Structure 1
Amino acid sequence: MAATLERHVEFPVAHVPNLEVRGDSDSPEEAANALRASWEIPVGPIPHLVRTAENEGVLVVFSAPASASVDAYSFEGMSRPVVVLNPAKRDYYRQRFDLAHELGHLVMHSDAEPGSAKIEAQADRFAAEFLMPGDQIADSLPGKANWGRLQQLKESWGVSLQALLYRSRALGEMSDVTYRNAMMFLSSKGWRRQEPGVMPILEQPSLLPSSVSLLGDSGVSCQALAEESRVPFNLFKQICSRSPLPSIDIQQGNVQGLPSGVVSIFSERR
């Protein structure tokens, strides 16, 4: 389907380096920092991870909330890498970590057998370093379960309390005993399922929705694009939606022809 849209809309060039992590000597953290450098991500938190990935040519889409049995998955498409996010949990912080995890797979595991505990652990390490580089966040992490401070860091870095606790232990800022006690406290409060504080809205993809909107301004209906893509209309709406549920205004009626030219989308990298 994306290949169909790319006949008419110029997408950003896919820029996902191959940084294979094969043996124990290869570091997921090094791969994460290499990707941040390659993508020219400034020091500090990544404000909008979905947009950052899309600006580098990664296609990010939502699955139907009721149809996916995993949090996210990724694969190499015909023309560019694709990450599919399951929005069922409606968790902004989990979604960002899931996307960073899948970027880790795309960067490190192009030839690896999916699903093994080892590569999943590597992708988690990649995601933690990508979102929270150790040399940038370590000095800010508390050695004790200072919940007020952790909440501030959560909002600033766009990661969960659980991710911050795990990161603090991994970087040696928090002892194993303190970490275990903090996680027990989280469980006792029910925060492992729903953490305190206001949940931001999910980051929304814009690459495909903007393409559909751009073509719509030229008189091309979603129905025409779905037919050329040879996918069911409802699936087309789902994949091209900015939000987890279909939100594109579908115009029924005569199917308009497709433009012969190619138009550009995303004139700037970020």
Structure 2
Amino acid sequence: MAVFDPARLTQARQLAGMTKAALAQQVGVSAAAVGQWEASTTPPRPDHLRRAAEVLDVPIGFFALGRPYAQLDASAAHFRSLRSTRVSQRAKAIRFVEQTWELAYALEKRVQFPPVDLPGFSGGEIYNEDFPTDPMRAAQALRAAWQLGNGPIPHLVRTMETHGLLVTLVPFAGADTPRIDAFATSRLPRPTVVLTPDRANDVYRHRFTAAHELGHLLLHGDPAPGDKQQEREADMFAAELLTPREAIGPLLPDRLDFNAFNELSLAWGVSLKSLIYRCRELGLVSEATARRGYQRIEQMNKLGLIVPEPVTNYPGETPCLLAKAFALARAQGLTQVKLANELQWKVPRVRQLLGEGDSRPALKLVGQDA
């Protein structure tokens, strides 16, 4: 009990989406007792801690002091809407990011990751004294810094990983993941972008989301979760990063030409809707014409004339840094079991954060109803 880490109990409980009262009921103590454990005023008895480990589905060693731990606060992440997410859901998301960093840290002891190359980033904070604060100019400056030229970015997520960012795409909160939505934080040794599988069924939406979160990292060193102005600025950054007006402007039609839009969509990796929006931004079409375009797209979607392509068809838009790092370490003898023991996680948790999911077959007893 002398090595009990109360912060680890909080982390495990919030990852499980449990309140103190719910955990207390399962363990057989009062909610006040759990509060005292987490506040480090009174340590739990060994039998209570074993039961808590069972309830929270972690090894009992998970609660031990001594392992690297980067604690985050929910205010350190760019959540899109505070009204659509509960406090417990945001807490689960933050704890997931903490564990993503722990996994990366464990792998970095064995494999050299790309150095972080994000303007203004140092030591878990963004300080851009000389970097543009205007979203469009910031997007142009990042293209210059990363030597992306002025044309389409074929592999946005791979590009982000190549420049040292951590990017994930796993259902970190189960069925709650879509409600929490994508988010990002710069308050870790590596800037981290969390993308969500619900947006990955449309590669164009997925790419815009990644660019949006990248905009938050660069523009908003002091996050204001749910702030509408910051969200608008991140959208403006994403649009300019993916389709620089200097390059896309001469290519856009001055009317609703869907054949032209489709060709540009394929070439630039953006949606038809975003191209119409760009036409409106650049004054090529009126607001009324743009609305008709959006209505046309909605009709085509309903008729099945526009079929979104999933990210799985585009390897360059699927995060792979952690998985590739593990593959290199595995060649030197690291196994998922060894890694799980080091992190004091269960093996399925390691698989999940590596992006492998659960490969075990789903079985049921013969004779039972589905």
Whether 1:101 and 2:212 are equivalent positions in the alignment is yes
Over 3 Å counting, the alpha-carbon distance change for 1:72 and 1:10 in structure 2 is same
Query: Does 1:199 pair with 2:306?
Result: no
Counterpart in 1 of 2:351?
A: 237
Question: Which AA in structure 2 matches 1:213?
Answer: A
**C-alpha displacement at 1:58, in angstroms?**
0.5
In the TM superposition, residue 2 of structure 1 has moved relative to its aligned partner by 0.9
Unaligned runs of 5+ residues in structure 2 are 1-102, 121-125, 361-370
Matched ranges for 1:217-228 at <5 A? 217-228=331-342
Q: Pick the aligned partner of 1:114 from 211, 220, 225.
A: 225
Q: Which of the residues 32, 46, 52 maps onto 2:159?
A: 52
Counterpart pick for 1:34 among 141, 150, 156? 141
CA-CA distance at 1:109 after TM superposition: 0.4
The one-letter code of the counterpart of 1:8 is R
> 2:80 corresponds to which residue?
none
- Per-residue CA deviations over 1:108-154 (Å, capped at 9, x if unaligned) read 00113121110000000000000000001001111211111111111
Deviation string for 1:197-255 (max 9, x for gaps)?
A: 562525211211111101111121012112323344323212212x7x4579xxxxxxx
- Tell me the SS of whatever aligns to 1:205: coil
Matched, 1:13 2:123: no
| Structure 2 partner of 1:188 | 299
Compute the TM-score of the two structures, normalised by the length of structure 2: 0.61
CA RMSD between the two structures: 2.5
- SS of residue in 2 equivalent to 1:84: strand
1:124 maps to 235
| Range 28-37 or range 164-173, more displaced | 164-173
Question: How far is the alpha carbon of 1:165 from its aligned partner?
Answer: 1.0
1:231 and 1:82 mapped to 2: Cα distance? 21
Letter in 1 for 2:158: R
Match of residue 197 from structure 2: 87
Shifted more, 179-188 versus 101-110: the winner is 179-188
Identity of aligned residues (%): 38
Task: Call closer, same or farther: CA 1:43–1:164 in 2, change over 3 Å.
Answer: same
CA distance 1:77–1:113, change in 2 (3 Å) = closer
Given the superposition, is the C-alpha separation of residues 70 and 160 from structure 1 closer, same or farther in structure 2, using an over 3 Å criterion? farther
Cross-structure match for 1:215: 329
List runs of 5+ in structure 1 lacking aligned partners: 249-270
Letter in structure 2 aligned against 1:61:
T
**TM-score for both structures, normalised by structure 1:** 0.82
Whether the 8 Å contact between 2:139 and 2:241 is mirrored in structure 1 is: yes
2:114 maps to a residue whose letter is P
Q: Following the alignment from structure 2 to structure 1, what is the Cα–Cα distance between the partners of residues 149 and 273? A: 24
Q: CA deviation at 1:188?
A: 2.6
Query: Shift of residue 26 of structure 1?
Result: 4.1
Greater CA drift, 155-164 or 172-181 = 172-181
Cα distance in structure 2, aligned partners of 1:14 and 1:114: 24
- The alignment of Structure 1 onto Structure 2 pairs a total of residues equal to 243
- Alignment partner, residue 263 of structure 1: none
